[in-house]
A and B are shown apart, each in its own frame.
Chain A
Amino acid sequence: MAEDIIRQFTSSEYKEGFVTDVEQEFIPKGLNEDIVRLISRRKEEPEWLLEFRLDAFRKWQAMPQPDWAHLDMPEIDFQDIIYFAAPKKDKERPKEIDPKLAETFDKLGIPLQERDVLAGVVAVDAVFDSVSVTTTFRKTLAEKGIIFCSFSEAVKEHPDLVRKYLASVVPSSDNFFAALNSAVFSDGSFCYIPKGVRCPMELSSYFRINARGTGQFERTLIVADEGSYVSYMEGCTAPMRDEQQLHAAVVEIVVEKDADVKYSTVQNWYPGDADGKGGILNLVTKRGICKGSGSHLSWTQVETGSAITWKYPSTILKGDFSSSEFYSVAVTNNHQQADTGTKMIHLGRGTKSRIVSKGISAGVSQNSYRGLVRMGRHAQNARNFSQCDSLLIGSRCGAHTFPLIQSQNPTATVEHEATTSKISEDQLFYCNQRGIGPEDAVGLIVNGYAREVLSRLPMEFAVEAQKLLQVSLEGSVG
C-alpha cells in the first residue's frame, strides 16, 4: 500500500516535467575555445566580453572539480554537453513569441501577457534553455528609470553598467563552476534600480530547461543603487528525463548605500525518479555585496528540486551597519542530495546577519547545511545568529551540519545552534486521531516547521512553496 503511494507520486507528481515540442537550434556538443567564440558570436557580443569569456575558460581548464562537498557526485563529461540551445525564431514574425513557448509558460503559470491578473504585480523575464523569450513590463519600469531586461540585451544597450559590475562580486576564477559559467553563460536577467527608486512591482526570472543533452548556464546581475529597493524572485523547472542535466548559474547582487534587496528563490528542478535516475545537477554560485553603509540584502530559498544541489548564497557585509539575512528550507526525498548553506563575511562595523536554515530529509536522501560566518578584524560590534535545524523522515536518510565560525574581533558576537530531530509518533498520533491522514499530517507538521522561512516569501511564492513542500514529501511516510 505504502509502496503504491510512493510509486504513484514519484512517477506522476512532478507536473512541470513535460517537454515542449518546439524547433530548436543547437550548437555542436563539446567545449573548447571555438565553442566559446561561437556562443559569443551568436550573441553578437563586443570584443571585451569575448575576452572575458576566453580568460575564464582558460582559468577553468586549469581548475580541478571540487569534491569537498558531502555529495556523491557523478562524473560530469563536460564534452558531452550542448552549451547553447535556442528555440528557432519565426522569420516572418521575429518580434512575436512562438505560441508554443507562450503555451509552455502559461502551463507553468508564468504570465507572459501583461494583461494577466497576477501580472499586475510581477514583471517576468522568461528564459527558455539558453535565451530569454521575453521580459514583461519593461516600459512601465523604464518610466521609473528601472532597467529590467535579459542579460544579452543589457550587454547591447547598457554596456557600461554591465562592464562595471560583471564579475565584481563573483570573479571568474572564484570556483570551478563559476569559471565554467563565466566562459559559456548564455542568458539571464539584468536589473538596475536607480538612486532612491522603490521598484513598484516584484521582478521575477523564470528559468526553463527544455532541450535534451543541454546544460543551462545563466547569469543574473542585480544592482541596487543608493537608497533603492527591489524584491526579486527566481523560479525554475525542467522536463523529466533519464539523463542528468547540468545547471551552473551565477548570480551577483550589488547593494549600494541604504539600498534594500530581497532575493527569493523557489527551486523546483526535476529531482530525478525514485531510483535516483535523472534529475538536474544544480551547481550554483550566488553572492551579494552590501557595499554601502546601511544596505540590506535578504536571501530566501526553498529548495525542493534537483538531484544534486551545491549552492551557498552568500553576503559580503562591507558597508558599515549593513545587514543580511538568509532563510532556507531544503527538502530532499528519494535519492536527492543537497549541500547548501550560506556565507556571511562581516567586514564593516556594526554589521548584522541572521541565518535560519531548515533541512528536511526523507527517503534515502542526504541533506547538509554548510556555512561560514567570518568576523573580520574591523567588524566592531558585529553580530550573527545562526540556527540550523534538521528534520529526519525515515531511518535511511542523513542530515548533516557543517558550520564554520571565525572571529578576529573581541567585540563581535556569533551564536550558532543546530538541532536534529524527527517527526514524533505523538505528533502523528495526535493528527491521525483527529482524522488527518498520515500524509496530510506530515505536510502540516513540515509546514509548521518551515513556517519561519515560508513567511518571508513574497505572497505569490509562499502559496506555491507550501504546496511544493507537500508534494515533495508525499509518499515518504509508511
Chain B
Amino acid sequence: MGHGKYVIPSIASVSPIVVQAGEVLNLEFVVLPGESKDITVFVELAGPGAEAHLKGLYLCNGDEQVHFRILMHHRAPGCHSTQLFNGIAGGRAQVHFDGTIVVAPDAQQTQAYQENHNIVLTDTAKVETKPQLEIYADDVKCSHGATVGQLNENELFYMRSRGIPEKEAKTLQMLSFLSPVIPEGREEEILLSLHHVLE
C-alpha cells in the first residue's frame, strides 16, 4: 500500500468464514418479532472465483434491538458476492445495519453488490443503515443501495378499492417486500409473524 490507510472495521477480529477457490457460501438470516439479535459475520473470499451470497430478513414490532454487522472481504481476484437485507421495524424497535465491502488491491474482476431496504411503521422505531464500500482495485463492479421508507399509499389504495381489507392489503405489501429474502419453506411462518406485527 505504502500510501493511504487501509481501514478494516473492528469486526475483523471475529474469526472469518473463509471461502476458497471455486467454493460457494450461502447464508440466510431470519430475525422474527420478539428477538433481539446481534449478528456479526465476516466473510473472506480467499481463492479466485469464490462466491458468497448473504440474505437477511428482520421483522420487529416491540422493543427489539437488531444489529447486523457484515464484512465482506474480497481478497482474491474474480470473486462474486451479493448481500440482500430487507426488514420491517415497528413498535420501539431499533435496527442497525453496518455492512462493509472491502476489495483488496489485487482483487481485480470483483463483483460485489449489497442492498439494505427498510420499512419503518411507527414514529418510535428507529433505523440506522451504514452500507460502506472500500475499494482498492480498479477493474471492479461494485454497488450498494439502501432505502428507508414506508408502505406505498398508492398500492394500498389500489388494493382497497378492489375490496381487499386494509389489514390484508398491508400484509400482502409486506410479504412482497420481504419475499426476496424469505428462505424456502418458511413462508407460512413469516406470514404468521406479519399478522402478528399488524395486530
Report whether A407 and B138 are in contact in the complex, using a CB–CB cutoff of 8 Å.
no
Report whether B145 and A407 are in contact in the complex, using a CB–CB cutoff of 8 Å.
no
Report whether B131 and A416 are in contact in the complex, using a CB–CB cutoff of 8 Å.
yes
Interface of A is mostly: strand
- Interface magnitude class on chain B: 35 or more
Report whether A419 and B149 are in contact in the complex, using a CB–CB cutoff of 8 Å.
no
**CB nearest to A370 among chain B residues:** B132
How far apart sit A12 and B4, CA to CA, in the bound complex (Å)? Answer: 25
Chain B residues, CB < 8 A from A395? 105, 108, 137-139
Report whether B130 and A420 are in contact in the complex, using a CB–CB cutoff of 8 Å.
no
- Chain B CB count within 10 A is highest, among A398, A415, A419, for A398
**A407-B148 in contact given A392-B135, A401-B132 (Cβ < 8 Å):** yes
Chain A residues, CB < 8 A from B120? 407, 409-410, 412
Chain A residues, CB < 8 A from B144? 401, 416-418
**CB nearest to A421 among chain B residues:** B141
The yes or no answer to B150 lying at the interface (CB within 8 A) is yes
Chain B residues, CB < 8 A from A399? 133, 135
User: Residues 392-431 of chain A: 1 if any B CB is under 8 Å from the residue's CB, otherwise 0?
Assistant: 1111111111111111111111111111111000000000
Report whether B139 and A390 are in contact in the complex, using a CB–CB cutoff of 8 Å.
no
Chain A, 308-342, CB within 8 A of any chain B CB: 335, 337
Report whether A420 and B108 are in contact in the complex, using a CB–CB cutoff of 8 Å.
no
Chain B residues, CB < 8 A from A421? 140-141
Report whether A414 and B5 are in contact in the complex, using a CB–CB cutoff of 8 Å.
no
Give the distance to chain A from B108, nearest Cβ to Cβ, in Å: 7
How far apart sit A422 and B149, CA to CA, in the bound complex (Å)? Answer: 31
The yes or no answer to A70 lying at the interface (CB within 8 A) is yes
Chain B residues, CB < 8 A from A414? 146-149
Q: Which of B34-42, B45-53, B121-129 lies at the interface? A: B121-129
Give the distance to chain A from B62, nearest Cβ to Cβ, in Å: 16
The yes or no answer to A50 lying at the interface (CB within 8 A) is no
Report whether A420 and B135 are in contact in the complex, using a CB–CB cutoff of 8 Å.
yes
The yes or no answer to B186 lying at the interface (CB within 8 A) is no
The yes or no answer to A199 lying at the interface (CB within 8 A) is no
The yes or no answer to A377 lying at the interface (CB within 8 A) is yes
The yes or no answer to A364 lying at the interface (CB within 8 A) is yes
Chain A residues, CB < 8 A from B3? 72, 276, 335, 364, 366
**A400-B134 in contact given A406-B127, A416-B145 (Cβ < 8 Å):** yes
Give the distance to chain A from B161, nearest Cβ to Cβ, in Å: 22
The yes or no answer to A38 lying at the interface (CB within 8 A) is no
The yes or no answer to B2 lying at the interface (CB within 8 A) is yes
Chain A residues, CB < 8 A from B4? 70, 72, 337, 364-366, 398
How far apart sit A200 and B32, CA to CA, in the bound complex (Å)? Answer: 60
How far apart sit A407 and B150, CA to CA, in the bound complex (Å)? Answer: 11
Chain A residues, CB < 8 A from B123? 377, 408-410
Chain A residues, CB < 8 A from B105? 395-396
**A407-B118 in contact given A276-B3, A401-B133 (Cβ < 8 Å):** yes
The yes or no answer to A375 lying at the interface (CB within 8 A) is yes
Chain A residues, CB < 8 A from B140? 392, 420-422
Report whether B135 and A405 are in contact in the complex, using a CB–CB cutoff of 8 Å.
no
How far apart sit A390 and B138, CA to CA, in the bound complex (Å)? Answer: 10
Chain B residues, CB < 8 A from A71? 5
**CB nearest to A417 among chain B residues:** B145
Report whether B133 and A418 are in contact in the complex, using a CB–CB cutoff of 8 Å.
yes
Give the distance to chain A from B123, nearest Cβ to Cβ, in Å: 5
- Chain B CB count within 10 A is highest, among A397, A404, A407, A412, for A407
The yes or no answer to B176 lying at the interface (CB within 8 A) is no
How far apart sit A230 and B136, CA to CA, in the bound complex (Å)? Answer: 41
Give the distance to chain A from B106, nearest Cβ to Cβ, in Å: 8
Report whether A405 and B148 are in contact in the complex, using a CB–CB cutoff of 8 Å.
yes
**A394-B147 in contact given A405-B130, A407-B127 (Cβ < 8 Å):** no
**CB nearest to A408 among chain B residues:** B126
Report whether A392 and B126 are in contact in the complex, using a CB–CB cutoff of 8 Å.
no
Given contacts A410-B120, A411-B150, A420-B133, 17 further A-B contacts (CB under 8 A): A72-B5, A365-B4, A377-B123, A399-B133, A400-B134, A401-B144, A402-B130, A402-B132, A406-B126, A407-B118, A412-B120, A414-B149, A416-B147, A417-B143, A417-B145, A417-B146, A419-B143
Chain A residues in contact with chain B, CB under 8 A?
70-72, 276, 335, 337, 364-366, 375, 377, 390, 392-422
Q: List 11 A-B contacts (CB under 8 A).
A: A276-B3, A364-B4, A400-B135, A403-B131, A405-B148, A407-B126, A410-B120, A410-B123, A412-B150, A420-B135, A422-B139
